[in-house]
Chain A
Amino acid sequence: EVQLVESGGGLVQPGGSLRLSCAVSGFTLSDHYMDWVRQAPGKGLEWVGRTRSKVNTYTTQYAASVKGRFTISRDDSKNSLYLQMNSLNIEDTAVYYCVRVSQTYYFFDYWGQGTLVTVSS
């Protein structure tokens, strides 16, 4: 059974940093692209970024709103995905979801339950 479990969310001050983790199981992480998607309170879904699979040399892609501040990484040996968030601002307050990308068709096939990040003074 595919499972994605995020952790690391919490309250952080503007300008601060936070690192989210996503523990995966039920599949071989290195075979898959993995993404982060966020949802501000009461708002819609916003794509944050992607790390490609091992065969695609783990290259990354980011939304303009987080580029240069957020970094996606992974440790396939630990079955984990990470999102390092720096220079956080109030607009980054959201539930952050870890999402698996299907090996065929490249759509989002499994989502984690999400972790809430609140940026506030």
Chain B
Amino acid sequence: DIQMTQSPSSLSASVGDRVTITCRASQGISNSLAWFQQKPGKAPKSLIYAASSLQSGVPSKFSGSGSGTDFTLTISRLQPEDFATYYCQQYASYPLTFGQGTKVEIK
């Protein structure tokens, strides 16, 4: 199975900050990487697919990069509605696997 490791597990940031979350795959997955946002009590929401493509309707303050084993999600100009938990997920091979999540909290 491909292990997905996110860092950090949590972070505190202020409104207006730029935030970067990293995700590392235990083996190469090309660009078969997605990012999701989840708010408490809600279903996850798709943000990024194919490592760097923005899902329809997602604001451009979200961006993704990377290929192979190392990936990043960047949120520019953090807003109150962006405080949530973020997950990466690989869909290169079965079983599909997720990172453990990164909780973005208000400083």
Name A's B-contacting residues (CB within 8 A).
Answer: 35, 44-47, 50, 61, 63-64, 97, 102, 105-114
Contacts and interface: CB of A to CB of B under 8 A. Distances in A.
Interface in B88-103: 89, 91, 94-101
Given A107-B34, A107-B91, A46 B98 contact: yes
Interface string B63-103: 00000000000000000000000010101001111111100
Nearest to B53: A105
B69 to A, nearest CB: 18
Contact of A111 (B43, B100, B101): B43
A110 B47 CA distance: 11
A105 B96 CA distance: 14
B49 A105 contact: yes
A113 B43 contact: yes
Count class of interface residues, chain B: 20 to 34
A91 to B, nearest CB: 16
10 tightest Cβ-Cβ pairs between the two chains A and B: A107-B49, A47-B96, A111-B43, A45-B98, A107-B34, A63-B95, A44-B101, A44-B100, A105-B50, A109-B46
A100 B101 CA distance: 21
Nearest to B31: A105
Contacts of B8: none
22 contacts: A44-B99, A44-B101, A45-B87, A45-B89, A46-B98, A47-B97, A47-B98, A63-B95, A105-B53, A106-B32, A106-B91, A107-B46, A107-B49, A108-B36, A108-B46, A108-B89, A108-B91, A109-B49, A109-B55, A110-B46, A111-B43, A112-B43
